[in-house]
Structure 1
Amino acid sequence: MDINVLRSTVTVISLLTFLGIVVWAWSRRNQARFDDAALLPFRDEAPQDSTREPS
């Protein structure tokens, strides 16, 4: 096997893997789960009182 054939094969496999990840990430089936995960950093924050004056 020539090194260029190996490089081409790895490139094609990498491209297919990347496209698979993109399709998985943008699928509507996963949208609710990703939207929920996007809000995780804000779940434990205490509500801010906007009526208080800054100290």
Structure 2
Amino acid sequence: MDIITIHSIWTLVIFFSFLGVVWWAYGSKKRQSRFDEAANSIFDDEPSSQENKKQGGVQ
């Protein structure tokens, strides 16, 4: 097995891994709401309960 074959196989492995991640991220409607919530969380005015605990409950 020469280096060109190894590089070709590695390229295919990486390509199919990329396709798997894209399918996981965009392929399921039930994950979409969770991703939308995470994307918009930066715009929330109030800190989350975890941030509140880190600050000792002081507002």
Please confirm whether the aligned pair reaches a TM-score higher than 0.5, indicating the same fold: yes
Partner deviation per Cα, 1:23-46 (whole Å, 9 max, x = no partner): 01102121010010011111126x
Identity %: 47
- Secondary structure (helix, strand or coil) at the match of 2:9 reads helix
- List alignment gaps of at least 5 residues for structure 1: 46-55
- List alignment gaps of at least 5 residues for structure 2: 47-59
State the Cα distance separating 1:2 from its structure 2 match.
0.5
Q: What TM-score comes out, normalization by structure 1 length?
A: 0.73
Moved over 2 A (4+): none
Higher helix share: 2
Greater Rg over alpha carbons, structure: 1
CA RMSD of aligned residues (A): 1.2
